[in-house]
Amino acid sequence: MFYGLCASLLFCLFIILIMVELTENEVIDNLCYWLGKNGWVILEKSKGHSRGIDIKASRNGQVLIIEAKGSKGNPRSHVTTRPRFDSGQIKDHFGKAIVKVLEQKHSNPKAIIGIAQPNDDYLIKHIHDAAEEIRKMGIRLYWVESKDNVIVE
């Protein structure tokens, strides 16, 4: 009985850890907090359906520009229709992020450019190959789990 309960709890914890479902706004808020803790000053932060750069920060004369995407829509939004994005939506959103960061890379050649997304295995599975190519182009990937846990590639 005890072994079965422990195994079930570990499995549930494992599932929770790999399914980091965050809205775009949660990705932005968590990453801005993490960047601030790591010496970056947030210059711009665009949330919701606002246009513009999602995150622009500076540190020691460097500029950082990040396009953020979530793995689920805002449940309070009038356009959200499902609890999490399907594979087609994930690829569509990542494609749009790629276009935006390439435009920023062209306009701001000295800036550090990145894409931030939840560190969610489901999401990563669907964009893995494209993400590898993006890294080769010198674009950073920020995998956001929480305000205290961000993986940078």
CATH number of the domain within which 92 lies: 3.40.1350.10
Whether residue 147 is contained in a domain is answered as: yes
CA distance 133 to 15: 28
C-alpha span between 111 and 63 (Å, rounded): 5
Q: How many domains does the chain divide into?
A: 1
> What is the per-residue pLDDT for 102?
96
| pTM: predicted TM-score of the whole model, two decimal places | 0.81
The answer to whether position 76 is within a domain reads yes
User: Residue 61's CB: how many other CB atoms inside 10 A?
Assistant: 6
| pLDDT for position 77 | 52
Inside any domain, residue 10:
no
pLDDT in tens, the chain (153 residues): 444 444 444 444 444 444 578 988 999 999 999 999 999 999 999 887 678 899 999 999 999 999 999 876 655 655 555 566 787 888 888 999 999 999 999 999 999 999 999 999 988 998 999 999 999 999 999 999 999 999 999
**Radius of gyration of the chain, Cα coordinates, nearest whole angstrom:** 17
Instruction: Answer whether residue 2 is part of any domain.
Output: no
The candidate with the shortest Cα–Cα distance to 94, out of 55, 49, 47, 126, is 126
Domain assignment present for residue 11? The answer is: no
CA 2 from chain centre, in angstroms, equals 38
* 5: in domain: no
pLDDT of residue 81: 55
**Does residue 53 sit within a domain?**
yes
Evaluate whether residue 103 is within a structural domain.
yes
Distance CA 94, CA 119 (A): 14
Output the pLDDT for position 57. 98
Structural domain of 147: 21-152
Strand residues in the chain grouped as ranges (E): 41-45, 55-59, 62-68, 112-118, 140-146, 149-152
